[in-house]
Amino acid sequence: MRALRFLLQKEFRQMFRDKGFTGRLFIAPAIQLILLPMAANYTIKNINIAIVDHDHSVTSQKLSQKILSSGYFKLADYTDFDSRANKLIESDKADLVLEIPNKFERNLITDNTQKTGIEVNAINGVKASIGFGYLSGIISDFNNDLRATWVQPERTNPLPTISVEPSFWYNPLLTYYIFMVPAILVSLVTGVAGLSAAFNIVKEKEIGTIEQINVTPIKKYEFILGKLIPFLAVGGVVFTVGLLISWILYGILPLGNIAVLYLFLYVFLFAILGFGLLISTYSETQQQANSIMFLFMMVFNMMSGLYTPFDSMPGWAQFVSHLFPISYFIDVMRMVVIKGSGLHDIRIHILCVFLIGLVLNTWAVLNYRKTS
């Protein structure tokens, strides 16, 4: 253990000699945690809509006003001509076109029914589906208002109706950043810790100090531990800074025990640092290590449930994602921070990540060839 102590002293001294270390540790994660949640906004607003009103009645105008006052839509044009509205869609100046037919109000009064047309620019499928859902809901709500205004209750037989009263648990206001910020913090910790570990052994190779270490009686597992432990501390500091920013800027405080988060953090760091060190043992230059780690980070972010629902992935993708430690940590962060889950609820996550970390670190130790 004496050799390990000297290795740790060397690593910490070398770490703090690096002038860019403070920036990578504090400034870069802080800036990303401030900016990324603003960009990863699932609330779609300012949807451009063109309204083609062939009726120009009081009812059609009320419908138009209700749509525009919802806060989700921006009026691209209010016209009588279908061709004009279609040109707006073709030029990407309108996302939706609502066509109100002629005799709209009269048919509602006389026939109790009337159809409207909705054309959707579906190049952006997510925006199209959400915009159509918003518009359909507004029209349905407007239809209910008309029934309440025009139908006289005392002159008709009451019809059975089903009313729905939603109850949103854990995030009652459906605030997107409560869901996104914990996951983005996991991605930042993964990037900082994983990249730092991936560069470490490679840097020793590039500056030539690896040869000096190789001729010492230091064992391979002591060498890997000497590289692993300092970045466990770095990951803990980055995570703490991220939690403070989440609390100060977004008012997010974990509903669960924060000790549970730190317990899982260090199990996760054990795995992700082992992955970084494994890449470092295979790489010959820092550029090579950076390229490999960047490739895996892209895959991690796309397949971990960070931006897209995990359950919407095909079966093979879900299986592959279960091999990534970041998938478990994102799930745990949302469970503990938003739901208030405890240690019993995440015991399977801890076991899976620990086993993944054990495999990766064992692989890194075996792959590091120490020559004399």
Share of the chain above pLDDT 70, in %: 85
**pLDDT of 371 over the 50 cut:** no
C-alpha angle with apex 35: 293 to 17, nearest 5 degrees?
55
Task: Report d(CA 250, CA 182) in Å as an integer.
Answer: 11
Give the mean model confidence (pLDDT) for residues 339-352: 93
pLDDT in tens, 79-134: 888 888 888 888 888 899 999 988 888 888 787 778 888 999 888 777 888 888 88
Q: Where do you find CATH 3.40.1710.10 in the chain?
A: 47-155
3-state secondary structure of 167: coil
3-state secondary structure of 232: helix
Task: Report d(CA 200, CA 8) in Å as an integer.
Answer: 13
Label residues 108-128 b or e (16+ Cβ within 10 Å = b): beeeeebeeeebbbeeeeebb
Lowest mean pLDDT among 4-18, 152-166, 329-343: 152-166
**pLDDT of 38 over the 50 cut:** yes
**pLDDT of 206 over the 90 cut:** no
C-alpha angle with apex 72: 137 to 109, nearest 5 degrees?
40
State which CATH number among 3.40.1710.10, 3.40.50.11060, 3.30.930.10, 3.40.190.10 fits the domain covering 47-155: 3.40.1710.10
C-alpha dist (Å) from residue 102 to 52, 56, 114, 347: 10, 8, 10, 63
Beta strands, E only, the chain: 47-53, 73-79, 96-100, 117-120
pLDDT in tens, 278-322: 888 888 888 888 888 888 988 888 888 887 777 778 888 889 889
- When the pLDDT of each residue in the chain is averaged and rounded to a whole number, the result is 83
Label residues 286-318 b or e (16+ Cβ within 10 Å = b): beebbebbeebbeebbebbbbeeebeebeeeee
